[in-house]
Amino acid sequence: MIPAYIPNPVAAVTGGGTPVDCGRRWRDGIRIFGDGKTFRGLFGGVTAGILAGFLLLLLEGHLGISIHTPLSVVLLAAGALLGDLVKSFVKRRLRKERGEQWLIADQYDLVAGALVLCVLVDPAWVAARITPLVLLWILLITPLLHRGANIIGYLAGVKDVPW
């Protein structure tokens, strides 16, 4: 899941500039995603996830193991931030403010987005690699990693809130 875990914190660091929704509003009159989702963050995050994944591919070759494929790396990285965008869209529809805590959704949006995109595009990889035990570990470790990364981002001044 490293290619999926890397994009969110990198998006927070590299973000800024033009919002993905370009300031447009949905039919309910509320912004589609908001100012917190920018093209710079989206591309920076996905690129970092892909680079981390390709580094893993190189290491796997030297270690004689095979977990990822180039396609799985791209899908995990892109899916993580697509999941974050979907969550932001729903969050706006629920009238939640930017930065407002939304338990469960805030922690698992990247996992849902990454795995759904993988299932849609490369179901054979998911079936071969995401066993029930692996999924359990993902579900257990994700909130811990998410919270830790957010606290670091908050202390570094990248995030306004520690969640």
Buried-exposed string 108-129: b where 16+ CB fall within 10 A, e elsewhere: bbbbbbbbbbbeeebeebbeee
H helical segments located in 122-161: 123-129, 132-155
Question: What's this model's pTM, rounded to 2 decimal places?
Answer: 0.89
C-alpha 81/C-alpha 125 separation (Å) is 20
Return the domain boundaries, the chain. Answer: 2-153
C-alpha 23/C-alpha 39 separation (Å) is 12
Q: Reduce the DSSP state of residue 1 to 3 states and report it.
A: coil
Instruction: Provide the pLDDT for residue 127.
Output: 97
Instruction: Provide the pLDDT for residue 123.
Output: 98
Instruction: Provide the pLDDT for residue 160.
Output: 76
Instruction: Provide the pLDDT for residue 79.
Output: 98
**Residues of the chain falling short of pLDDT 50:** none
Instruction: Provide the pLDDT for residue 74.
Output: 98
Residue 13 buriedness (CB in 10 A; 0-12 / 13-18 / 19+):
middle
Instruction: Provide the pLDDT for residue 154.
Output: 83
H helical segments located in 65-129: 70-93, 105-121, 123-129
